[in-house]
Amino acid sequence: MEQKKIRPLAVVTGASSGIGYELARQFVQNGFDVLIAAEDDGITEAARSLVGGGRVESVKVDLARYEGVEALYAKIQSLGRPVDAIAINAGVGVGGDFARQTRLEDELNLISLNVTSSVHLAKRVSKDMAQRRSGRILFTSSIAALMPAPFEAVYGASKAFIQSFSESLRNELADVGVTVTALLPGPTETNFFHRAGMDDTRVGQQEKDDAGEVARQGFEALMAGKDKVVAGSLKNRAMAAAVQVIPDTASAQLHRKLSEPGSGTKNK
């Protein structure tokens, strides 16, 4: 009797909607069992809707808290299976003038989720992968990592951290066969800008890239072992290329025009 083939296991955070949900869909459609995580109740419905030939499980955890990351890692361990791939995607934005508009509590929560939880989860999972000499890690960065980000100052800095961290970790793990890939999307059609309080900005109101297409490009780059991929439209790739050669003052001004509160109304 032929033994049933064991499917590889992937973990995706921030997977109740947006890019995270679409990344989970990519894994399911490409032969993975998937564990998805998010802090909201939508994660349960997301798991139900991810139909495919494999198993999909969900866990509701607040990754902005130390205990939340530990709870996710405990769930991973309880499966008794190696993690073949992980997409560390959970993140949040805060829009507005840092000194005069935004709340410190929101920005500290952003750092806890975007930066601290990413390091925490990567620490747990990468150690297991290094010991096994096998695994793939995908970090969701942003083209905001490539430029100063006025009116998203802490968010942009958090993604610059993730980009540097991803590149460094990739170098460290190269000798044990573990790959690390950074996904750099531009403005994408998700709930991100609404949650960040940026509905009235130019970037909040403009046409955005499709989350499914961004996720597909990220998944393909991960499976190919690439160091990074600037995902989305040709416009996004052109912007990413441009901001790496123009002065920071110019790229900061470009970001300001897109993200300044009220800029969407001004440009109607």
Residues 6+ apart with CB under 8 A from 69: 61, 63, 117, 120, 121, 124
Say what the pLDDT of residue 201 is.
Answer: 96
pLDDT at 57 over 90: yes
Residues 6+ apart with CB under 8 A from 104: none
User: What φ, ψ does residue 146 adopt, rounded to 5°?
Assistant: -95, -5
4 band by pLDDT with thresholds 50, 70 and 90:
low
DSSP 94: -
Show the tokens assigned to 210.
């499709």
Residues 6+ apart with CB under 8 A from 161: 114, 115
pLDDT at 185 over 80: yes
Between CA 228 and CA 149 the distance in angstroms is 20
CA trace torsion 6, 11, 15, 16 (10° rounding) = 60
Radius of gyration of the CA atoms of the chain, in A: 18
Between CA 267 and CA 67 the distance in angstroms is 44
Class of domain 9-266: alpha beta
Between CA 85 and CA 95 the distance in angstroms is 31
Q: Give the pLDDT mean for 50-68.
A: 93
**At which residue do the structure tokens 């309080």 appear?**
197
- Burial code (b: 16+ CB inside 10 Å, e: under 16) for 12-23 equals bbbbbbbbbbbb
pLDDT tens figures, 230-265: 999 998 999 899 998 999 999 999 999 999 999 987
Between CA 31 and CA 50 the distance in angstroms is 12
Question: Domain spans of the chain?
Answer: 9-266
Active site residues: 155
Between CA 239 and CA 69 the distance in angstroms is 34
3-state per-residue secondary structure call for 24-65 = HHHHHHCCCEEEEEECCCHHHHHHHHCCCCCCEEEEECCCCC
pLDDT at 267 over 80: no
The pTM assigned to this predicted structure is 0.95
